[in-house]
Amino acid sequence: MIHSLFLINHSGDIFLEKHWKSVIGRSVCDYFFEAKEKAAEPEDVPPVLQTPHHYLISIYRDRLFFLSVIQTEAPPLFVIEFLHRVVETFQDYFGECSETVIKDNVVTVYELLEEMLDNGFPLATESNILKEMIRPPTILRTMVNTLTGTSNFEERLPSGQLSTIPWRRSGVKYTNNEAYFDVIEEIDAIVDKSGTTVCAEIQGVIEACVKLTGMPDLTLSFMNPRLLDDVSFHPCVRFKRWEAERVLSFIPPDGNFTLMSYHVNAQNLVAIPVYVKQNISFFESGSGGRLDLTAGPKQTMGKTVEGLVITVHMPKAVLSASLTATQGSYTYDPATKVLVWDIGRLNPQKLPNLRGSLSLQAGAPKPEDNPSINIALKIQQLAISGLKVNRLDMYGEKYKPFKGVKYVTKAGKFQRPACVAISHFST
Amino acid sequence: MLNMSTNASYNDQGGAEAAVEVCTEGTSTTSGTGAEGCVCLKEMLESNKESLKLEAMKRIIGLIAKGKNASELFPAVVKNVANKNIELKKLVYVYLVRYAEEQQDLALLSISTFQRALKDPNQLIRASALRVLSSIRVPIIVPIMMLAIKESASDMSPYVRKTSAHAIQKLYSLDPEQREHLIEVIEKLLKDKSTLVAGSVVMAFEEVCPDRIDLIHKNYRKLCNLLVDVEEWGQVVIISMLTRYARTQFTSPWQEGVSFDENNEKAFYDSDSEEKRDETETKPYMMDPDHRLLLRNTKPLLQSRNTAVVMAVAQLYWHLAPTHEVSAVTKSLVRLLRSHREVQYVVLQNIATMSIQRKGMFEPYMKSFYVRSTDPTHIKTLKLEILTNLANEANISTILREFQTYVKSQDKAFAAATIQAIGRCATNISEVTDTCLNGLVLLLSNRDETVVAESVVVIKKLLQTQPTQHSEIIKHMAKLFDKITVAMARASILWLIGEYCERVPKIAPDVLRKMAKSFTSEEDIVKLQIVNLAAKLYLTNSKQTKLLTQYILNLGKYDQNYDIRDRTRFIRQLIVPNEKSGALSKYARRILLAPKPAPLLQSAFKDRDRYQLGTLSHSLNLKASGYQELSDWPAVAPDQSVRNVEVIEPVNEWVPTVGKSKPAKSAKSEDKFYSDSEGEQVDRKGSKNSSSSSNDSSSSSSSSSSSSSSEAVSEPLALTPGPEAGFMTSHPSSLQVTVQPFGPVKSHELLHHMSGKGLSARYHFPRQPFLYQPSMVQLQITLTNASDQPLEGIHLGEHSPASLTLHRFSPVERLEPQASVTVSMGIDFNDSTQAANFQLCTKEAEFSVSIQPAVGELLLPASLTQADFEKEQGKLLGMNETSATITMAEGHCSSAVLNKQVRSMANLGEVITGHNNTHRFAGRTVSSGALVLVTVEKREAADATITVNTDKSVMASMLLRDLKQALASA
């Protein structure tokens, strides 16, 4: 299926290549560069491209292009999903996925890619199995390795691939047995200029960090599972028990993983926790404009709004902004025309305000549309949908684990790192 | 000196530069010039120190990753292939696979290492040896590879077999002539029952012999049943293969007027043509049970986190499911839109194709397709496409309002696309044509040029479809003409004026006059339209325009562009009457001013449905190489029996089954077994269990993934026999209960359908430990709807006594008339025969029912050796011993019958004794786990002594009484 992989940085240099079948020359990427030239933004490059002999499927993440070459018919989503899995594995191993990190760990990267695909077909994509074979680098181990000349390879042969529970390695041991679940919800909404919600949805994920000895079999139940409109699971969750009893029954992978992601029925009214009053106008003369933004809490159920960041995509003609913020700090990037106002914690007594003037390119016509505004925020200890975990039971092991559940609400589209959210569309 | 000479020789090969670079940019242990550095990698590899070798290999891998040539180091590297250090070995493998093709002779040196490793006792080493061996693309070793693949295909370890499935594809691409041999291996591996192998072998099948559908027949049901437990990537491949398979084997479920519903599933369990009632009588179409099996088993995968799996299921439903069932996938597809941008792109493409044929599927989710300002352009355009497809009379106003915001977008390409979309809506929905047209005319005064240009183009198309009362609009556009600079828009306006010149008789000649002035500076398409306009005006209004036309034709005659020269010449001949062209010019008016058909504004995705959804070909809208055409449904289904298989089912403990009626294959042997429960719901799995558990010693390693295969279909309500089956059985059960073949199962009435308003319930004890709570007795309740109304919301209500703990069965949401469902629940009887009372509720009514268990059901068999038995019995004497002497009934004297009688009475395990006249049975109470030992000692004639040893004295006496009855009576 997947023939080759090229990693390409923002400026268009190929800095890593890997072939799973015979070698394909770099020149195949020229077709991709051509498409990249045409696109205004790197995001605009079509993910699926065609060349005379090959097909190119690429993803763009963390300012890097992952470009895979395939030769015959293959489901494009299959390839895309795999590439994203590669990125996630890198993030898991190295903490981030950037050109420098990949170059620094090129051997580990190569070993990972070698294990993840065999002849272009995915072999081991579960992080638990990969970690059994190739240890992630840590500062300590790197030091020890250089000093003693030992490797970051497991001496022991991995067994995870052999079991029918491929996501869990065997022989896990902890002194403190812990299981933590974070219920993270994101509101995704389009609000028009008058403040009316055009559409709003709640997306949630349950991120788990499970450190339990042996082969625990967990059952997680909710107080109000009916809230969940649409769900998708980590492969460890048993579909049939969910269908029959609405409980999550699973043998967890070891460590961090996303247990499920869900969607809360859109019919339930979504209360948007903050509001933003905006007033952005440009002078008729075309020489400048004025901006006035105020943010305030709306329905936060008594919790504090944190990490509030407001992003405004300015019209192209805006050259610079000279503003004063009563709280937080702002930056304006004249290249991307994005104004970011980082407010931080929202104080309901003293509403933060940002005002000042905008200067426009000389001679440019007056920009006509009100720019769209995105809001990112975070509320601790609150799942805005009201979803509550009822209990967590463990079978199969004798000890008593420590259990914890945390709720966080965020604003943002699902794409992480989340900062795209409540879009104010002007009307 | 030596250094110098080697250096020279490397320089010849031209790859030295690369090697030089490594050493200089590395942690240059050897300080020095590049020339020495080149040698240093080689030296490092040849040194005795592992760490140096490793360091060298790491640098070489770095070179390969950068795409630099490191092939000249091949001889030095290949020597390390047999190194003990695993990491070093792995890196050497990586190198070998990369360069073996270029250095074939040297690569052969390594082969023997792999051949040796193929015999290694460790499965992982065998697998990795096969992996590398098959990845070396050296044609000479094809026979060796073939042999290795054949051997590995029958390896004990499923992991090695999986690797051999991968190797098949590699060998095939190396040497396609091996096809026939490889197909044999594929055929063998397709029979494999391991979930590890399934995905890989189907992948090999798809690459090597996708046309050999006949290989799938026998494995079809197995693949369907294994599907849930196969790893994600394998699922995608299997699903798409099964889609193709199904299209060749089943008849179309899309026939006119066929409404198919889940009730027909029943037919699946019916033996042949026993009772096909209600709808099946009237309608000729009957879904093949195997077809239904596929649909049912793929549906849960819609919940997968893997977007490719979800898409695969969605396309399967789209291509295979009856029309009204397809909408089951909508929600999941919409979910994918919250994933990464690239995923959205592909999913939106597929939705766009789907939404043309089936608006209703996505209409409720219209808002999900609203464009966000942060979406990349290609996503925006696709969303626009879908919104346009979804537009109908009811929602058009909402959509148009949404479109209005898009037109103002800063992304001008997108704004232009929106205008086209508005045009499409206007033609498709006649109610809004005027509104749209007015809106578009307003846009003509927009400041942005692209918006105006696009509007003109769209208005032109719209006016053509609506050739009435548009002179106002044309006049308006003529006024704007001077301001518009985009060629396409100018050309469109000119065409409009020309086409409808009789409606704007005053303006048209004036426009022509202006154009005559600016003719030379116009773009080519505009020039062509000027010539057109001139010709049309000449025909309708020659008095005013004759000179102008001639002037323009003269300008055109000497234009640089030959198209324009040609057109001018043609027009002149056509419209200006002269002696040569008499015949044609008579018809000039009819030719030029013929009523023209309006252009069809239709979706770009209109014809994409010729490709299978979710494929690369669909995404690109052209046939990708290797694309497998999806065949049309056959008119007559091929023989169904090809898929029948004789299988010994693997053990399937712990799985409560849900049957809907009598199982299809109540085999004769079972009839014998269940003779006393005629006509009752029979736990078929249980019985299979008893017949096969003993002989099933699944040699296939640890993965006893005992999915039910063949006809045994795990029902939606049942637990998956998937991964859990493997570990559940491996648990050291705290009760140390052995599940032995147990005796017949009696079922008891719980609720009669007369008193239950149509709901009848029977229960039986499956005699297996209860999954959720070991101290509970497992019960299976078969609920049957004897009424002619569907019953809804069947669940357990309150129970008494209050201290009673029970595990409720999950509510049955809906029970169709005549259908039945089996649910399992657990009750902690606390080792007493006190009745458990509870309420069985439906949505409408509640019925109090009570279950009083026989004492024998409160036990679970225990396995003891004779010695243990005697030891335990020694501890339970005196107060704890009860015994009685009976005269056994005629037929009960033989050991086998006695055995059966006791075990049907009580859930005890037999203790194997050497004695012929003494039978011992052991068990434990379910709640407290107290031992219960029963000894039946045959005396002379028909006399026998029954002894019960247990510290539960009440139970002992009750058990004794029951046993006496069972053995004494006939």
Q: Which two tokens stand for residue B178?
A: 């091996």
AA identity, residue A294: T
By the 10 Å C-beta count (0-12 exposed, 13-18 middle, 19+ buried), B734 is classed as exposed
Q: What is the mean pLDDT of residues B602-610?
A: 79
Of B169, B376, B615, the CB nearest to A73: B615
**Confidence at B38, pLDDT banded by 50, 70, 90:** low
* Percent of all residues in chain A with a pLDDT value above 90, rounded to a whole number: 11
Could you give the strand order of the β-sheet that contains A274-282, starting from the edge strand earlier in sequence? A274-282, A288-297, A353-360, A318-325
Looking at residue B469, what is its pLDDT? 64
Distance CA B313, CA A164 (A): 22
**How far is CA B220 from its chain centroid?**
15
Of A14, A73, A188, the CB nearest to B616: A73
Q: Which residue has the higher pLDDT, B247 or A376?
A: B247
**Confidence at B21, pLDDT banded by 50, 70, 90:** very low
- Please name the residues in contact with B916: beta carbons below 8 A apart, sequence gap of 6 or more: B895
AA identity, residue A79: V
Nearest CA in chain A to B401: A427
Distance CA B337, CA B356 (A): 18
Q: What is the mean pLDDT of residues A339-350?
A: 84
**Confidence at A195, pLDDT banded by 50, 70, 90:** low
* Percent of all residues in chain B with a pLDDT value above 70, rounded to a whole number: 80
Mean per-residue pLDDT of chain B = 76
| pLDDT of B422 higher than 50 | yes
Q: What is the mean pLDDT of residues B206-217?
A: 88
Of A298, A274, A268, the closest CA to residue A386 belongs to A268
Global confidence as pTM: 0.69
Distance CA B703, CA A155 (A): 24
Looking at residue B312, what is its pLDDT? 94
Looking at residue B347, what is its pLDDT? 94
* Interchain proximity B714–A164, CB inside 8 Å: no
Strands A274-282 and A305-313, bridge-based pairing: unpaired
- Render pLDDT for B894-918 as a digit per residue (tens, 0 to 9): 777 777 788 788 888 887 776 777 8
* Interchain proximity A110–B65, CB inside 8 Å: yes
Of B237-241, B384-388, B930-934, which gets the smallest average pLDDT?
B930-934
Of B398, B327, B329, B394, the closest CA to residue B369 belongs to B398
> How many C-beta atoms surround the C-beta of residue A13 within 10 A?
9
Looking at residue A412, what is its pLDDT? 59
> How many C-beta atoms surround the C-beta of residue B369 within 10 A?
24
* Interchain proximity A41–B376, CB inside 8 Å: yes
Q: Which residues of A touch B240 (CB under 8 A)?
A: 75
Could you give the strand order of the β-sheet that contains B846-851, starting from the edge strand earlier in sequence? B812-815, B791-800, B836-841, B846-851
Of B131, B346, B810, the CB nearest to A245: B810
Smallest Cα distance from A350 to chain B, Å? 30
| pLDDT of A58 higher than 60 | yes
| pLDDT of A23 higher than 90 | no
Strands A402-411 and B820-828, bridge-based pairing: unpaired
> How many C-beta atoms surround the C-beta of residue B435 within 10 A?
16
DSSP string across B613-634: TTSHHHHHTS--TTPPPPPPPP
Q: Which residues of B touch A51 (CB under 8 A)?
A: none
ipTM for this model: 0.85
| pLDDT of B16 higher than 70 | no
Distance CA B254, CA B246 (A): 14
Distance CA A321, CA B816 (A): 68
**CB distance B930 to B831 below 8 Å:** yes
Q: Which residues of B touch A41 (CB under 8 A)?
A: 376
| pLDDT of A356 higher than 50 | yes
Of A34-43, B30-39, B631-640, B842-851, which gets the smallest average pLDDT?
B30-39
Distance CA A208, CA A181 (A): 4
Of B87, B90, B53, the closest CA to residue B73 belongs to B53
Looking at residue B49, what is its pLDDT? 81
A289: which strand partners?
A282, A358
Q: Identify the DSSP state of B862.
A: B
- 3-class SS at B236? helix
Angstrom distances, CA of residue B574 to CA of B163, B540, B581, B588: 74, 14, 7, 6
DSSP string across A52-88: SS-EEEEEEETTEEEEEEE-S---HHHHHHHHHHHHH
Q: Which two tokens stand for residue A67?
A: 């470009």
Of A169-173, A193-197, A381-385, B279-283, which gets the smallest average pLDDT?
B279-283
Distance CA B598, CA A141 (A): 73
Q: What is the mean pLDDT of residues B399-424?
A: 85
**Confidence at B725, pLDDT banded by 50, 70, 90:** very low
Q: Which residues of A touch B619 (CB under 8 A)?
A: 48, 76
* Interchain proximity B410–A121, CB inside 8 Å: no
Angstrom distances, CA of residue A355 to CA of A230, A361, B872: 42, 20, 88
Of B370, B627, B720, the CB nearest to A199: B370
* Interchain proximity B374–A413, CB inside 8 Å: yes
AA identity, residue B240: S
Which range of A386-400, B12-26, B339-353 scores highest in mean pLDDT? It is B339-353
Distance CA B172, CA B165 (A): 11
**Confidence at A417, pLDDT banded by 50, 70, 90:** very low
- Render pLDDT for B326-346 as a digit per residue (tens, 0 to 9): 888 998 898 888 888 899 999
* Interchain proximity A155–B173, CB inside 8 Å: no
Q: Which two tokens stand for residue B765?
A: 């004890």
Mean per-residue pLDDT of chain A = 80
Nearest CA in chain A to B93: A114
| pLDDT of B418 higher than 70 | yes
| pLDDT of B388 higher than 80 | yes
Q: What is the mean pLDDT of residues B272-278?
A: 42
Distance CA B116, CA B279 (A): 64
* Percent of all residues in chain A with a pLDDT value above 70, rounded to a whole number: 83
| pLDDT of B163 higher than 60 | yes
- Best B155, B373, B382 residue to mutate vs chain A (most A CBs within 10 Å): B373
Would you give the end-to-end CA distance of chain A in angstroms?
46
Looking at residue B316, what is its pLDDT? 93
Smallest Cα distance from A347 to chain B, Å? 29
- Render pLDDT for B48-75 as a digit per residue (tens, 0 to 9): 888 888 888 888 888 888 888 888 888 8
Of A297-301, A336-340, B226-230, B360-364, which gets the smallest average pLDDT?
A297-301
Of A253-262, B598-607, B632-641, B685-694, which gets the smallest average pLDDT?
B685-694
Q: Identify the DSSP state of B600.
A: P
Looking at residue B824, what is its pLDDT? 80
Distance CA B388, CA B476 (A): 27
Q: Which residues of A touch B723 (CB under 8 A)?
A: 164-165, 251
Distance CA A114, CA A128 (A): 16
Looking at residue B54, what is its pLDDT? 84
| pLDDT of B287 higher than 60 | yes
Angstrom distances, CA of residue B819 to CA of A305, B276, B765, B790, B812: 53, 13, 21, 9, 12
Q: Which residue has the higher pLDDT, B311 or B764?
A: B311
* Interchain proximity A22–B135, CB inside 8 Å: no
Q: Which residue has the tokens 């007594």?
A: A349
- 3-class SS at B121? coil
Can you give the length of chain B in residues?
970
Q: Which residues of B touch A15 (CB under 8 A)?
A: 66
Indicate the angle between helix axes B179-190 and B142-153, nearest 10 degrees. 10
Q: Which residue has the higher pLDDT, B271 or B847?
A: B847
Looking at residue B235, what is its pLDDT? 92
Indicate the angle between helix axes B232-249 and A76-94, nearest 10 degrees. 170
- Render pLDDT for B615-672 as a digit per residue (tens, 0 to 9): 999 888 888 888 888 888 888 878 888 888 764 444 443 434 333 333 333 333 333 3
- Render pLDDT for B776-835 as a digit per residue (tens, 0 to 9): 888 888 888 878 778 888 887 777 777 778 788 777 778 877 777 878 888 888 777 778
